[in-house]
Each structure stands twice: as structure tokens, then as C-alpha cells.
Amino acid sequence: MSRPFDLTLYLVTDPRLVAERGLLATVEAAVKGGVTLVQLRDPDAHGRALVEQARALKALLAPLGIPLIVNDRVDVAVAADADGVHLGQDDMSPADARALLGPERILGLSVGNPAEFAGSSSGIDIGAVDYLGVGPVKATGTKKDAGAAIGAAGVAAVRALTRRPIVGIGGIDGALAGEVIRAGADGVAVVSAICAAPDPEHAARALLSAVTAAR
Ligand SMILES: Cc1ncc(COP(=O)(O)OP(=O)(O)O)c(N)n1
Ligand SMILES: Cc1nc(C(=O)O)sc1CCOP(=O)(O)O
Ligand SMILES: [Mg+2]
């Protein structure tokens, strides 16, 4: 069984957007504002740099009880003793990742739409997964190869297919956060709404209020 996690407000990091403020200062501020889960995502970084970043984030987050997820890289998560991994449809299969990660680490899987969910759930893979990242909800400039936007209605359509925890992602701001929760998501995942905000603590607090109000 995986360790506990809370999808309410899931920060996915982007080194380009945190810019001079830096990764650690941005995450520290965001956690003060109420972020409940953090993912290290840096598609351009190589393994050694990723392990260093993951270790630094783990040292910051572990005393606060906030789990650290690593995007894509099972090896980096294990090396840095992170709490879990998030996989896309083209990444290592969840079943293979679970075999490497063991039963306790948290495993997330991206699902772009109801058909993609059906494809994943028809195999054995879905049983290895703890939560689903569903999106993009709205078009986003943060991920160049994101699929077509599915809207809050798309989140509701995936919700109708599974009881597994789901988090909406893609183009989410304070206004859309409430819609995504009302569509049945357990939480929202954001990159630019926090990483590019002038005050990440304030931005996180506002998003958390929107999620809480919509529940
Ligand atoms: C919470 C969450 N949901 C979706 C994604 C996207 O994962 P993926 O489709 O593998 O794309 P990349 O992030 O690897 O570019 C995510 N990272 N987190
Ligand atoms: C990392 C990621 N995954 C997506 C998906 O749809 O799977 S969209 C996305 C980027 C989300 O960034 P922002 O909050 O700035 O729109
Ligand atoms: Mg991926």
C-alpha cells in the first residue's frame, strides 16, 4: 500500500518559470501558502542534476510532511529517496515502475481523455497506479506537446469512469480550479499559476481557497 498523499493543491515545478527566485525558494513559499504535494519536473535536466535537485527538495519537504514526486524518472526517485513518480502514457509502464519502486512509493499516471483512460485500464497497468493526472483542462503554454484541452467536462467524463483519485492539470488558475473540483477532481495541479506568480505563497493560498470553496 502506498504512503498517504493529498492531491488538493499539487505544485509541478518548472525551472524556467521560477527564474532568479530559484526552485527551493519558490517551493518553500508555495508550501507556506498551502501546497499539499510537489512534483520535480525539469524535462531538460540530466540525471545527475535531477538527483541533486530532488535531494534538496526532499530535505526541504520531508520535515513538513509534504511528499515529493519526480516526473518521469524512476531511477532519480529511487536515488534521491523521493516519495513517488509521475508517468505519462509514453513513459515506462506503471507495472514496470511499480516493480522498481516497491509498494510504498506513490505512482501517478497521465490520462488525456476518457479514451486514454479506457486504454490504460484495459491493461494490467492501472492497478499499479495511485492517482491520475487528467488534462490538459485548458490550453497551456507550459507543456508544448500537451494534447487537446478537455475542459472541466472532460474531467467529469474521466471521473465517471473511475474511483481512483484524480487531479486536473493544464491552464488552471483560481477561476478554473473551482470548476475542476466541481467536476469531481480531488485536487488541482499547477505550474505557471504558482511558479510564475510574483508571490508564490499568495498564489498558492488563493488557489487553495478556490479549491476549498468548491468542495
Ligand atoms: C500531475 C501531472 N499530470 C500530468 C503530467 C504530464 O505528464 P506527461 O504526460 O508524462 O508529460 P511530461 O510532464 O512528462 O512532459 C504531469 N507531469 N503531472
Ligand atoms: C505538466 C503538464 N501536464 C499536462 C497534461 O495535460 O498532462 S499540462 C502540463 C503543464 C501545466 O502547466 P500550467 O499549469 O502552467 O498550465
Ligand atoms: Mg512524462
| d(CA 122, ligand 3 centre) in Å | 20
Inter-residue contact 180 to 152 (CB < 8 Å)? yes
Among 87, 109, 140, 195, the mutation site with the greatest number of ligand 2 atoms within 8 A of its Cβ is 140
* pLDDT value at residue 118: 85
DSSP class of 203: H
Radius of gyration of the CA atoms of the chain, in A: 16
88 lines ligand 1 (CB under 6 A): yes
How much is the ipTM here? Answer: 0.99
Among 12, 44, 176, the mutation site with the greatest number of ligand 2 atoms within 8 A of its Cβ is 12
Catalytic annotation, residues: 41, 110, 143
| d(CA 36, ligand 1 centre) in Å | 17
33 lines ligand 2 (CB under 6 A): no
Angle at 176 between CA 28 and CA 15, to 5 degrees: 35
Which atom of ligand 2 approaches the CA of 136 most closely?
6
| d(CA 25, ligand 1 centre) in Å | 23
Distances (CA, A) of 207 to 36, 100, 197: 12, 34, 12
pTM: 0.98
Q: Which helix (H) or strand (E) holds 106?
A: strand 106-111
Q: What residues have their beta carbon closer than 5 A to ion ligand 3?
A: 72, 88, 91
Q: Each residue's pLDDT tens digit in the chain (215 positions)?
A: 889 999 999 999 999 999 889 999 999 999 999 999 999 999 999 999 999 999 999 999 999 999 999 999 999 999 999 999 999 999 999 999 999 999 999 999 999 999 999 887 776 578 899 999 999 999 999 999 999 999 999 999 999 999 999 999 999 999 999 999 999 999 999 999 999 999 999 999 999 999 999 99
Q: State the CATH class of domain 9-214.
A: alpha beta
Residue that the C-alpha cell 506537446 belongs to: 145
